[in-house]
Structure 1
Amino acid sequence: MLRIDGLTRHFGDTVAVDGVTFDVPRGTMTGFVGGNGAGKTTTMRMIMGVLQPTAGRVLWNGHEAGVADRRRFGYMPEERGLYPKQPVLDQLIYLGRLQGRTTVDARRVATDLLDRFGLGERLTDKLESLSLGNQQRVQIAAAVIGGPELLVLDEPFSGLDPVAVDSMVDLLREHTTRGVPVLFSSHQLDLVERLCDQLVVLSRGNVVAQGTVEDLRRRGRVLHRLVVGGDAGWVRDLPGIHVVDVDGPTALLDLGGTPDAGAAATDVVLREAMARGSVRELAEVVPTLSDIYREVTV
């Protein structure tokens, strides 16, 4: 398991990362989200040892991560690091050998990865001849060529078309199935919401929220949508019911408070609505991840 314990990084008087703490358990996919300048890339660089922390620790399986541990980590940096004028396959074989594979094994794994990303006919092409999306595919292959025990990926889905995203998702899930922890950053919240076992939300160098998608959605304000057969304006006259909006037969209500109070308020609304005519819908409107993200990063 990867544990980030109080990581802090100063650049002069600027605090880029401030006491960040979270876990990435084995076999899980953790989304690392936040706006530009939130501290995600700096945190990832400290995990990989590219930057030294001002304070805090990176723990791997209970001990402080060292050089030998980080050699088994797969890393995809924000600034892509492959050689533009070198053939694609040659680069992956080279990187595989650096991470302990034989030439034969590295060639086999690299060829398989490129095939699954639709680049089987571009093995001898120079990287710079590929589109940006295909270069991204090669960079992903480079991150996993060594059979990593941990994956740290900075914006891995950037520039990928939907087919490539699906291939990338399949690849990551194969790794988590084998117990590999995966930490990745992304601005694509819909994708993060769909893929991740848990999320860590960073703002101004601080963790402002973390947990499963469901945990985060439930921490926000849960509204209720009422749809009746006629006009719903009468809900404004109900005592103790906060009306957020009414539009013809549809009302958006904040029944708030404790679960018991919310249930009692729901009963009041439902009884009154049924007494007045037909009820088409009374359902929770749970906040989306985008809603929660905006709320916690303001």
Structure 2
Amino acid sequence: MDQTSPPNDTRPLAIEARGLVKNFDGTLAVDGVDILVPEGAIYGILGPNGAGKTTTLRMLLGIIDPDAGVRKIFGNDRPHEIAKLVGYLPEERGLYPAMKAIEAIAFMGALRGLPLDQGRARGLELLRKHDLDHAANKQIRQLSKGMAQTVQLLGTLVHHPKLVILDEPFSGLDAINQGKLERMIRELADDGTTVIFSTHVIHHAERLCEGVAIIAGGKVPYAGSVEAARDRIPAQVRLETRERDGKWREALPADTRREGDFFSFPLPDSGIEDLLRSLIEGNAGIQSLSIERAGLHDAFVHIAGEAAARAIEQDNANENSL
């Protein structure tokens, strides 16, 4: 199976998971998961609800132990010993409704060893940075859903973790707050923080991630770079010519399809140069030519299968209907 780190990537690993297995009452939830995440990367675990994403994250964090396999964070196979280096936002959001926003942030920092007064000072800085300082002394119950989720995220970051793990962080956010969260994730990575998040929304992973693990039915059929995943499907050439026929057509690949005024075919392994030469010499009259690479959604369907793709689309539809 492909791995996240290319052979020439010399960065140390923030996360190393090999052969993770977890059963719940005889049901195999995670079956032999391998994931490698280099330090400073943004990494996505991509799959439908129920695929095993949350279970995998909880094993990495040491919240639950695997039945088999090895997981290490920064080289340590005892996650609890380095909990202060990790920030974790669970899928089940939860803050004390009567607690003030600034106190909630400081409290979450204290759980990771940050003194309360330092947590309040850092929390106020974070709230100001995200234009939420006016909410510092408001109770969580007085905040909008998006603001409350932002407060919980800031509490996840207040102790300056080296690794941030976010379980479905975009769930329930509107488009504006999703954009803000994407910017926050990029800023964390720019500062050298490793970010790993689970999601069933493919476009977030495609925009943000250096590497992804595609998970379906508790298995990971692919773990590697986003680029390599997309390259599993050959790029498609779309060609429009002024002439409709001529000897130049012999140069087109055998699997060329005619789509209205266009010819479509996979990009030849040898590239496009020889074909272009034949088209020009044959006076085909090139009107337009584009090379279209597959997106991560197409790669997901190709790798995980139609059933997993339908499940992920249903998850998105269910969330959008709420």
Letter in 2 for 1:2: I
TM-score of the aligned structures, taking structure 2 as reference length: 0.82
Equivalent positions of 1:48-67 (< 5 A) are 48-67=61-80
Moved more, 6-15 or 109-118: 109-118
Moved more, 140-149 or 112-121: 112-121
Equivalent positions of 1:1-298 (< 5 A) are 1-231=14-244, 240-243=253-256, 245-256=257-268, 259-260=269-270, 267-268=274-275, 271-272=278-279, 275-298=282-305
Partner Cα separation in structure 1 for residue 140 and residue 262 of structure 2: 55
Conserved? CA contact 1:231–1:248, under 8 Å: no
**1:104 CA displacement:** 2.5
Q: Residue 239 and residue 89 in structure 1: after superposition, are their counterparts in 2 closer, same or farther (change >3 A)?
A: closer
Q: Residue 233 and residue 204 in structure 1: after superposition, are their counterparts in 2 closer, same or farther (change >3 A)?
A: farther
Conserved? CA contact 1:233–1:246, under 8 Å: no
Letter in 2 for 1:254: P
**1:272 CA displacement:** 4.5
Letter in 2 for 1:289: L
In the alignment, structure 1 segments of 5+ residues that lack a partner are none
**1:3 CA displacement:** 0.8
Conserved? CA contact 2:253–2:265, under 8 Å: no
Letter in 1 for 2:178: V
Secondary structure in 2 matching 1:121: helix
Conserved? CA contact 1:229–1:249, under 8 Å: no
Q: Residue 248 and residue 180 in structure 1: after superposition, are their counterparts in 2 closer, same or farther (change >3 A)?
A: same
Conserved? CA contact 2:234–2:267, under 8 Å: no
Percent identity, aligned pairs only, is 32
State the Cα deviation string for residues 173-228 of structure 1 (Å, max 9, x = none): 33323432211112232221121111111111111112222111112132211111
Q: Residue 101 and residue 274 in structure 1: after superposition, are their counterparts in 2 closer, same or farther (change >3 A)?
A: same
Conserved? CA contact 2:45–2:212, under 8 Å: yes
Q: Residue 238 and residue 134 in structure 1: after superposition, are their counterparts in 2 closer, same or farther (change >3 A)?
A: same
Secondary structure in 1 matching 2:103: helix
Q: Residue 91 and residue 213 in structure 1: after superposition, are their counterparts in 2 closer, same or farther (change >3 A)?
A: same
Moved more, 134-143 or 94-103: 94-103
Partner Cα separation in structure 1 for residue 207 and residue 127 of structure 2: 25
Partner Cα separation in structure 1 for residue 260 and residue 246 of structure 2: 7
Q: CA RMSD in A?
A: 2.5
Conserved? CA contact 2:18–2:70, under 8 Å: yes
**1:62 CA displacement:** 2.1
Partner Cα separation in structure 1 for residue 212 and residue 200 of structure 2: 12
**1:64 CA displacement:** 0.7
Paired residues in the alignment total 292
Partner Cα separation in structure 1 for residue 246 and residue 135 of structure 2: 64
Q: Residue 254 and residue 233 in structure 1: after superposition, are their counterparts in 2 closer, same or farther (change >3 A)?
A: farther
Partner Cα separation in structure 1 for residue 297 and residue 174 of structure 2: 21
Conserved? CA contact 1:109–1:145, under 8 Å: yes
TM-score of the aligned structures, taking structure 1 as reference length: 0.88
**1:269 CA displacement:** 6.9
Conserved? CA contact 1:232–1:249, under 8 Å: no
Conserved? CA contact 1:230–1:249, under 8 Å: no
Partner Cα separation in structure 2 for residue 175 and residue 139 of structure 1: 16
